[in-house]
Copies of this chain bind each other. A is one copy, B any other.
Amino acid sequence: MAITIKDVAKKANVSIATVSRIINNKPGYSKETEIKVLEVIKELGYSPNSIARGLISKRTHTIGVLVPKLSSMLTNEIIRGIENITHQYGSSVIVCHTESNGQKTMQYLQLLHEKQVDGIIFASTSLTEEYYQFIENKGIPIVLLSTKSDQFPVPYVKVDDEVAAYTATEYLIKKGHRTIGMLSGNRDDRIAGKPRVDGFIKALKNYQLSVNEDHIVSFHGFSFHDGVNCFQQLIHQIPDVTAVFAASDEMALGMISAAYEMGIKVPEQISVIGYDNLSIAEMSIPPLTSVAQPLCEMGEAAAEMVFEVIENNQKVNSQICAHHIVERKSVRSL
């Protein structure tokens, strides 16, 4: 059925070893047999079976990416970056949407191991002891993306969320705002929750502005609907708020919609800065000012890192990526 190296060898009147040497250009054959064999290969349309190759080389040229339930735009950017580099290295990626489900995550880890992936990129999820032990035990190279571990020595690439939140809040302060609220999403989230709240509080305290629990409203998630709900609560708790920092662009959009419904003008009456700089940020009315993570570049960096440890088998340093604020029109100066 499928054409194997044997077929090529037979038709070219050489041994399979010679064919192998030629397609891998290792020394050991004459120019004329080379062209002969290459001719046969073209003629038969032969291409090597990477499964068989993988069995002996112990490299599958495949890496696994685990992503939780995130905004599709976020994951897409990250994966695009990863795929860019992966493709450059002649490898491909198996994407696993864990849906933030621990059981599913373990299933996928098991599957990736059985498929003998060369490495794993673990995105935006806390690395539990169970995950770590498994991966460590199997000896699979791994790098964390948009998350990090305090307990385990695993390299990561992420932005400093606390600092980014601080910057965003400071931006509002420097625009003259004094009563600032935050839509924090899920505060228990160890990545997008707590650090951003901490940065927010730190900024306000540093500028001697008042901040208490009324200024921060949280909910289950970071979605559009969470944004409208949280904003309704916020405006009720501190009616004189003039600016808000939303922990995600989707929440920011939710807030803008809610404000619109309530007849509150953005940015005339209330300003808002988002987080993520998704493509929708520029599509909103008004266009949304947002703190941007270099998602695609981060994906690329993470991929570079796994390949670094795969190919050179050496430890690699973590990376803190720079964030920046993309100014659009949702914040006005007082």
Contacts and interface: CB of A to CB of B under 8 A. Distances in A.
Given A45-B137, A285-B256, A95 B97 contact: no
Interface size class of A (residues with CB under 8 A): 35 or more
Contact of A51 (B51, B92, B280): B51
A93 interface: yes
Interface string A68-96: 00001101110110010000000011111
Nearest to A282: B224
Contact of A92 (B47, B94, B224): B94
Contacts of A93: 94-95
Contacts of A62: 94, 115
Interface stretch (A52-60, A121-129, A198-206, A300-308): A52-60
A199 to B, nearest CB: 25
Given A80-B97, A285-B257, A114 B73 contact: no
A137 B113 CA distance: 32
A139 B45 CA distance: 13
Nearest to A261: B285
A113 to B, nearest CB: 7
B49 A116 contact: yes
Contact of A95 (B48, B79, B110): B79
B110 A72 contact: no
Interface in A212-254: 224, 250, 253-254
Contact of A72 (B2, B73, B139, B256): B73
B283 A250 contact: yes
Counting every copy of the chain, the complex holds 2
A260 interface: yes
Interface string A32-50: 0000000000000101111
Contacts of A72: 72-73, 76-77, 279
A75 to B, nearest CB: 7
Contacts of A1: 139
Interface string A131-144: 00000011100000
B116 A50 contact: yes
A1, A48, A54, A283: residue with the most chain B Cβ atoms closer than 10 Å? A283
8 contacts: A45-B137, A49-B116, A50-B116, A51-B54, A52-B55, A72-B76, A83-B95, A285-B285
